[in-house]
Amino acid sequence: MRHLIWFRTDLRVADNPALFEAAIEGAELSAVFIASPGQWRQHGMADIQRDFLARNLAALSSELSALGIPFTLLEADTFVEVPELLGRLVAERGIDALYANQEIGVNERRRDRAVQQTLSIPVRVYNGDCVVAHGSLAPRSGDMYKVFTPYAKAWLARVRAEGYRLLPAPRAQGQALAVAPVSLPDGQVSSEAWLAGERAAHRQLAVFCHERLREYGERRDYPDAEGTSRLSPYLALGVLSPNQCLAAVEAELGCLPLSRGEPGFSWVNELIWREFYRHLLVVYPRLSMHQPFKAETRALKWSNNQLSFDLWCRGRTGYPLVDAAMRCLNETGWMHNRLRMIVASFLTKDLHIDWRRGEDYFMSRLIDGELAANNGGWQWAAGTGADAAPYFRVFNPTTQSERFDAEGRFIKRWLPELAEVPVSAIHAPHEWLTRHGMAQAYPPPVVDHARARRHAIAMFDDLKDRQEAP
């Protein structure tokens, strides 16, 4: 028998359910990846992530070649063209079954249904992106959990009872092959600051677990500290699986921390958040279509101030930590998680700009762009999502700066125009700059936070009042 493995956002050979199942029957294996540059543009995929994708595909091609599995890179500009393209490949190679791991976006699911309807061979799809399979956790009502805490309790109970399944890479099916070259279309931004491939991802995971896992809960909120894992780009492309993350944690600590307060639990909890957002996306496809989780928040009256949005994008709002975070994103394609919450709160609650504009901008810049996590984070900040921040929770950008970048080291790294500002003034520098004749060096605050906060709360209060009216 001949089996075809269709790689998508699962660019690894170990702990890959589709590859494992295809190989376990002893079939002759071949692999394909279908580049879809037009679809990627529609989805707003960042240039830097596309470059990272290309480099990880090259690493995957090398790994598959070493296993004797031929790898083919094809191109279909959009998903509409994929079924016919796969049909031709299946016919040319005499393929008996197609294997793939599930993708959860609504366009991806429509593509996969079209493929299943087009091909005359079995199409077998597996859970390759979550520890706990989509749809397998639900309260007694039968609906999906809409609040994180009970979902997390159910997730932890499942893992305590059943553990997690870690699959080996398949055995080589013959002699090593010449490595198939990988080249993706469109102009790209270099991702060379991030090492590519499974081996690099596992080295990064091992270093994090050994050096920073135990202190993650205490250090993760400080952008100038090396406190986070920086593994999200690998998880977004499936170069690394969440099962492999749990296995590395367990190997480092000698046990898997599944209770709050245990060393390492804070990071495991972040993996649970990731799965919560992915499960929501499966159950509520509208989240893939720029719709709020809370339907009533469609009526919120967002601002259309283009100048304010541009200042936020460029890091010129006059709030140093917000601006440093945005400039870091624009230059590196990555942003610390605490900073993501701060800048998202600022855009939606201080500038009152629609969260969807921020979601799109992030996707256009992030090396770790992932629909479920990005959407979930933005809707949490905006107060429109499942288990969102209460609408009256509005991050104060100045006090957040004072708390999490007290010495201003992160700020000064990304805002060189503030190099001479003392620590005592770094979080609100405009008055100091004015006194010293340097007011032109850095813009004044684009909004007054206290006034903006009151307006944000009034937006939601007005929404609530209209809902409660007879």
Q: What are phi and psi of 158, to 5 degrees?
A: -65, -45
Mean pLDDT of 28-47: 97
Closest of 393, 390, 369, 389 to residue 380, by C-alpha? 389
Predicted local distance difference test score (pLDDT) of residue 187: 66
Q: What percent of the chain has pLDDT over 90?
A: 91
Strand 2-7: give its sheet, edge to edge.
Answer: 71-75, 28-35, 2-7, 97-101, 123-126
Mean pLDDT of 45-50: 97
Q: Residue 2: which H helix or E strand, with range? A: strand 2-7
Residue 466 has pLDDT above 70, yes or no: no
Closest of 68, 11, 15, 22 to residue 184, by C-alpha? 11
Q: How many CB atoms lie within 10 A of CB 30?
A: 19
* Residue 273 designated active-site: yes
Predicted local distance difference test score (pLDDT) of residue 398: 98
**Which long-range CB contacts under 8 A does 287-291 form with residues at least 24 apart?**
287/372, 287/375, 287/379, 288/105, 288/106, 288/107, 288/371, 288/375, 289/106, 290/356, 290/359
| Alpha-carbon gap, residue 89 to 78, rounded angstroms | 17
* Residue 6 designated active-site: no
- DSSP state, residue 100: E
* Residue 355 designated active-site: yes
Of 211 and 135, the one with more pLDDT:
211
All domains of the chain in start order, with CATH: 2-126 (3.40.50.620), 129-166+197-283 (1.25.40.80), 295-468 (1.10.579.10)
DSSP bridge pairs for 32: 6, 72
Q: Positive or negative, the Cα torsion across 146, 148, 149, 154?
A: positive
Q: Identify the band that residue 143 occupies on the pLDDT scale cut at 50, 70 and 90.
A: confident
Predicted local distance difference test score (pLDDT) of residue 139: 86
**Which residue is catalytic, options 21, 198, 250, 270?**
270
pLDDT tens-digit map of 279-334 = 999 999 999 999 999 999 999 999 999 999 999 999 999 999 999 999 999 999 99
Inter-residue contact 57 to 32 (CB < 8 Å)? no
pLDDT tens-digit map of 175-218 = 999 998 898 876 679 999 999 999 999 999 999 999 999 999 99
* Residue 378 designated active-site: yes
Predicted local distance difference test score (pLDDT) of residue 388: 79
Q: Residue 4: which H helix or E strand, with range? A: strand 2-7
Inter-residue contact 352 to 452 (CB < 8 Å)? yes
Q: What percent of the chain has pLDDT over 70?
A: 98
Helix ranges, 346-445 (H): 355-363, 371-382, 397-404, 409-414, 430-435
| Alpha-carbon gap, residue 50 to 193, rounded angstroms | 14
Mean pLDDT of 38-51: 96
The first and second tokens of residue 327, run together, are 């400039």
* Residue 127 designated active-site: no
- DSSP state, residue 241: -
**Which residue is catalytic, options 273, 312, 380, 414?**
273
pLDDT tens-digit map of 386-399 = 987 777 889 999 99
Predicted local distance difference test score (pLDDT) of residue 389: 74
Query: What is the CA angle 374-375-378, rounded to 5?
Result: 85
pLDDT tens-digit map of 77-111 = 999 999 999 999 999 999 999 999 999 999 999 99
Residue at 326: amino acid letter: M
Closest of 67, 71, 47 to residue 57, by C-alpha? 71
**Which residue is catalytic, options 378, 380, 396, 414?**
378
Mean pLDDT of 68-77: 97
Predicted local distance difference test score (pLDDT) of residue 464: 75
Predicted local distance difference test score (pLDDT) of residue 469: 42
Predicted local distance difference test score (pLDDT) of residue 458: 94
Q: What are phi and psi of 437, to 5 degrees?
A: 65, 30
Predicted local distance difference test score (pLDDT) of residue 470: 39
Inter-residue contact 330 to 46 (CB < 8 Å)? no
**Which residue is catalytic, options 215, 302, 305, 330?**
302
Stated length of the chain: 470
Predicted local distance difference test score (pLDDT) of residue 140: 79
Predicted local distance difference test score (pLDDT) of residue 97: 97
Report the mean per-residue pLDDT for the chain. Answer: 95
Predicted local distance difference test score (pLDDT) of residue 26: 79
| Alpha-carbon gap, residue 293 to 383, rounded angstroms | 10
**Which residue is catalytic, options 267, 312, 334, 355?**
355
Q: Positive or negative, the Cα torsion across 223, 227, 233, 238?
A: negative
pLDDT tens-digit map of 213-260 = 999 999 999 999 999 999 999 999 999 999 999 999 999 999 999 999
**Which residue is catalytic, options 127, 330, 337, 417?**
337
Inter-residue contact 31 to 141 (CB < 8 Å)? no
E strand spans, 45-200: 71-75, 97-101, 123-126
Mean pLDDT of 22-30: 90
Rounded-to-10 torsion of CA 450, 455, 459, 465: 90
What are the distances in angstroms from CA 176 to CA 98, 166, 260, 333, 361?
A: 23, 25, 47, 35, 42
